[in-house]
Amino acid sequence: MLILGGKREDTGFVNLISSVYEELGIEEVIYFPGVVDDFYRALINKWVSSGIKIAADEDAGTYLASYGIKVDFDFDSAVERASVFVCFDRTGYDLLRANLSGVSSSKKLIILSPVFSGEQHAIYAEGIFKVPFESERAFCLKIPGGMDYSIAYFVKLLEKNFSVQEAIDRVKFLVVRDREEGCDFPRNSSREEFLKKISSNGCGIHISEMKMPAVMDFVYFDIVFKGPVDVQKFVDLFDLDGAVAMTNKKDMVEIRKVEELLRENGSLLYIILMSVSSIEMVSDRELVGYFFVTPHFCEAFNIISAITRYFFPRSSEERMRKVYSRMVKEI
């Protein structure tokens, strides 16, 4: 796979993929920097030590070589070599499209990160829906923003695990973002299209947002079921899901420490950090609570999930589970 980097949105994903690609069975990861400066030079040094190969144009190659960093491929060679492209920069994406016309091998997969707001390509969320945009040379998928993806994953997990009698009637989410650090919640046709396709049983889904000082982004949820619900069953279905991290902490500052512990141990392969202590029954049919989200981690998870399914359609879930198990043991 070839990562077309840029503007620092790529760093979390490259850090994660460099630690798990061999375990997932991906043969080779190549990084093409959209920006080469002192910030990226230090990161590239670290990624190279993890086995990541580097592609660069002549100017970037000269700069990296002056610091003893070997460039393995030029851009054209990297494009010919890769089967999957992950794009974090529009300039790199345009360059890729121009180069694909000369590639004679089988169809490639192009993944657009959430920085490509407003793109009309099909939106992809692993386990939710998959309608790839297909051209003559490539499948093209756009990854939704991390907050959108975590909410969609939450809804689908509920719908998958509760019976028709217990089915969801309505679910409301209030997204709370850090006023200083939180990025704007995306408002475009792609997001609307994505949210329309979340629910398979037609339950009402409402998402609103607010900004306030917060230690990290979090989501209040309020769920009304069509029949009585077992709160233990609700907790268990999240506890058994490998993409959900659980904590009994309720205080925001303590939960931030849990998130930092997960990050320090390299366990970024989770979508939701659920506070079990926050879950309360309002009635026998309604419960409330909250979970925490680090959007960039969600986006990295979704990209890796899409890549694993593309390379290994029959064993992708098993490969992801092995990575979960290893990370849990380490923590």
302 and 242 in a common domain: no
Instruction: Give the pLDDT of residue 241.
Output: 80
109 and 151 in a common domain: no
184 pLDDT more than 60: no
Q: pTM (2 decimals)?
A: 0.82
Q: Which residue has the higher pLDDT, 234 or 127?
A: 234
255 and 316 in a common domain: no
270 and 198 in a common domain: yes
Using one digit for the tens of pLDDT, what is the confidence trace for 273-316? 888 989 999 999 999 999 988 888 888 888 888 888 888 888 98
165 and 117 in a common domain: no
Mean pLDDT of the chain: 81
* Alpha carbon 325 to its chain's center: 19
153 and 71 in a common domain: no
Q: Do 302 and 143 contact (CB within 8 A), yes or no?
A: yes
Residue 301: exposure state from Cβ atoms within 10 A (0-12, 13-18, ≥19): buried
Q: Which residue has the higher pLDDT, 307 or 329?
A: 307
Q: Do 64 and 71 contact (CB within 8 A), yes or no?
A: yes
Using one digit for the tens of pLDDT, what is the confidence trace for 163-174? 777 788 899 999
- The amino acid at residue 176 is V
162 and 114 in a common domain: no
For residue 180, name the pLDDT band (cuts at 50, 70, 90): low
Instruction: Give the pLDDT of residue 139.
Output: 78
262 and 227 in a common domain: yes
302 and 205 in a common domain: no
**Could you list the residue range(s) of the whole structural domain that residue 135 is in?**
2-143+298-330
Q: In 101-177, which ranges are continuous DSSP H helix?
A: 146-161
Phi and psi (nearest 5°) for 124? -120, 130
315 and 266 in a common domain: no
- The amino acid at residue 196 is K
Q: Do 189 and 117 contact (CB within 8 A), yes or no?
A: no
In the chain, the number of structural domains is 2
139 and 183 in a common domain: no
116 and 19 in a common domain: yes
Q: Which two tokens stand for residue 159?
A: 């719908």
Instruction: Give the pLDDT of residue 267.
Output: 52
For residue 133, name the pLDDT band (cuts at 50, 70, 90): very low
320 pLDDT more than 70: yes
Q: What's 261's domain CATH number?
A: 3.30.360.10
